[in-house]
Chain A
Amino acid sequence: MTQSLKMRTEPLSLVFAALGGVVLLFIAAPLISMFLNCSLPELAETAGDSEVQSSIWLTLWTSMAATLIFAPMAIAFSYLLARKDFPLKGLITGIIDLPIVIPHSAAGIALLGVLSRNAILGKAAGRMGFSFVGSNAGIMAAMAFVSIPYLINSARDGFLAVDERLEKAALNLGASPLRVFLTISIPLAWRSILSGLILMWARGMSEFGAVLIIAYHPMIAPVLIYERFGAFGLKYARPVAVLFISVCLAFFIILRLLAKGKVNAQR
């Protein structure tokens, strides 16, 4: 009986599975081989290297700070995009996606145009006593520039999925629009917003090109990996890469677990 109930597997599914396997291998193999090619003593030595430690730490906190600094603006903007119609909305949506499609070295050059000491923002920063070029502020700006579309798009999709009638019902109950936004829209779109925040953070953390142009020093981990590779070769770059990837992975897993717990608690 069970035999006859079983659906026959489509040959096409098998072909697709095989194709998928190739892609999976293509992604996983280099990473696995990198981990396998790294000996524990090597890793331990690299982990003790203060230059490595400080670059990983710098990468983690600048990317997180960049995300948190831009989050309120990005979330407010994405709400506007989800709820309102305005002229040139299509163009504006396109502009938001630009950082995703332009080469990141070009993004760095463009950003340098407004952040360098004699450009508008650079001058303003100079008056406030800091500089973007070659500083943490510059790193954060470069990271935010390339990663902010991920947060905006994800949050906008989240807000779009919130039933507008719920917001209207809340207004009807006497809530101010800000209160509706904070107590209805944000909590209901929270899963998307959170995943957008994590995406933005991850994207910022992995940025290399734009940061390299604005701030070679202080050195973030991706730049350090590049420098070790250029100066000493693959063998010296690899442990740093492995260490950085491991730290990132650990953070993401923890965050995802926390996020999942939080979402479940809301149900």
Chain B
Amino acid sequence: MLSVKNISKSLGDLAIKDVSFEVQEGWYFVLLGASGVGKSVLLETIAGLSRPDAGRVFLDEKDITGERIQKRNIGFVFQNSTLFPHMTVYDNIAYPLRCKKLKNRRIHKRVAELAEDFEVTSLLKRRPQTLSGGECQRVSLARAVAREPRCLLLDEPISSLDVKARPQMRALLRKINARGRAIVHVTHDYTEAVSLGTHIAVMECGRIAQIGTAKEVFQQPKSEFVARFVGIRNFFKGQLEKSDEQRTRRFSTDGLSFSVLSDSGSGPGYIMVRSEDVTIGNAASQTSARNNFEGTISDIVPAGAGVEVIVDIGVEVAAMITSESVKLLDLHCGKKVWVSFKASAVKYIEG
């Protein structure tokens, strides 16, 4: 649906080099990268706010590289609020509808629906200056969606919010996407990428280093940069179970059950364990680690200063250990070992 081909653009220190990707109907596409790699510029290029030095942008097979901003049906939510300060929240949301020259009655109805949807009904008469960050962001989203754009570009929509407002925003974004609207979301926070993205592109120095599903990118980082940036080899999708009062919770995936320390609500999600946090032993031992599994070593790979040992416990778990330990424990492929990691080393992300 949206396809970006070989876009290059330099702007001061920033430079995007030969970036290509494609977003299909209904995707939630996350562009993940450190700040200052040109993610925002890339979004601006797609929306037409800035012109690429080279490359093309296609929307529904139509070349829109040189198309005027107002003719591209692509929603854009800026990182900082661009709500019109001289209009009420109502007039802000109604703005794109008035541009379409809809009848007042239809505008009224549509604004009411959108306000309901984005939980801003009580704010309609307020001025943007009086809103909190989260409220501003919800109004901005409602206004962008009001135009019924083919796809929605979001520039760091969550990072600027305070921690309390984030889960609500995530839920809202998931809801918008679940209704079939494609989203391109730019962020530097990998937990956002995991939590929301159906597809993730990792950007490195103005280039795209890897594109794939969350699982692919986290489990099989293609380059050292990606590995370091997302940094987490043990990445499992599953279900956080309900618990009565204990803070130690069960997370089940593929017939296995992990202990997780989390106070999130139960539901689908992901867990991640850094390979550095996983230890290997020849026998089960009594330690404070709540997660102990027996498995077979399927691979031993030198990685940087240490050695990465892959153990199959039903799913593959990677452990980063020293080469001394490999010798000491006499580790080799096919050997039966115990892997263990603490419940507190497990990072849970709703998704």
Contacts and interface: CB of A to CB of B under 8 A. Distances in A.
B100 interface: yes
Contact of A175 (B70, B80, B127): B70
Interface string B50-85: 000000000000000000111001111010101011
B78 A165 contact: yes
A73 B117 CA distance: 44
B96 A188 contact: no
A174 B98 CA distance: 9
B95 A175 contact: yes
B11 interface: no
Given A168-B69, A187-B86, A188-B86, A173 B127 contact: no
Of A166, A188, A266, most buried by chain B (CB within 10 Å of CB) is A166
Interface in A141-165: 163, 165
A96 to B, nearest CB: 28
A33 interface: no
Interface string B289-319: 0000000000000000000000000000000
B328 interface: no
Contacts of A260: none
B86 A173 contact: no
A177 interface: yes
Nearest to A171: B69
B283 interface: no
Contact of A169 (B74, B82, B86, B146): B82
Interface string A171-192: 1111111010001100110000
A177 B127 contact: no
A163 B84 CA distance: 10
Nearest to A266: B86
Contacts of B85: 166, 188
B78 A171 contact: no
B70 to A, nearest CB: 5
Contacts of A248: none
B49 A173 contact: no
A175 B99 contact: yes
Main secondary structure of the interface of A (DSSP, over half): helix
Given A166-B84, A267-B127, A173 B78 contact: no
A121 interface: no
B31 interface: no
Of A166, A170, A171, A188, most buried by chain B (CB within 10 Å of CB) is A171
Interface string B18-61: 00000000000000000000000000000111000000000000
B147 interface: yes
Contact of A173 (B48, B68, B80, B96): B96
B9 interface: no
A156 to B, nearest CB: 19
A267 B144 CA distance: 24
A165 B69 CA distance: 12
Contact of B95 (A173, A266, A267): A173
Contacts of A176: 70, 99
A254 to B, nearest CB: 24
A179 B69 contact: no
B118 to A, nearest CB: 15
Nearest to B80: A165
Given A166-B82, A188-B86, A172 B100 contact: no
A215 B91 CA distance: 49
Contacts of B48: 172
Nearest to B73: A174
A177 B78 contact: no
B78 A174 contact: no
B143 interface: yes
A173 B49 CA distance: 12
Contacts of B144: 172-173
Interface in A221-267: 266-267
A162 to B, nearest CB: 10
A113 B86 CA distance: 46
Contact of A172 (B47, B84, B127): B47
Nearest to B49: A168
A55 B89 CA distance: 50
A187 B99 CA distance: 17
Contacts of A166: 82, 84-85
A188 B85 CA distance: 8
Contact of B76 (A163, A169, A184, A266): A169
18 contacts: A165-B78, A165-B82, A166-B84, A166-B85, A168-B69, A169-B82, A170-B95, A171-B68, A171-B69, A172-B47, A172-B49, A174-B96, A175-B96, A176-B70, A176-B99, A179-B99, A188-B86, A267-B127
Which 9 residue pairs across A and B have the least CB separation, nearest first?
A169-B82, A173-B96, A171-B69, A174-B99, A171-B70, A175-B99, A172-B76, A187-B86, A165-B82
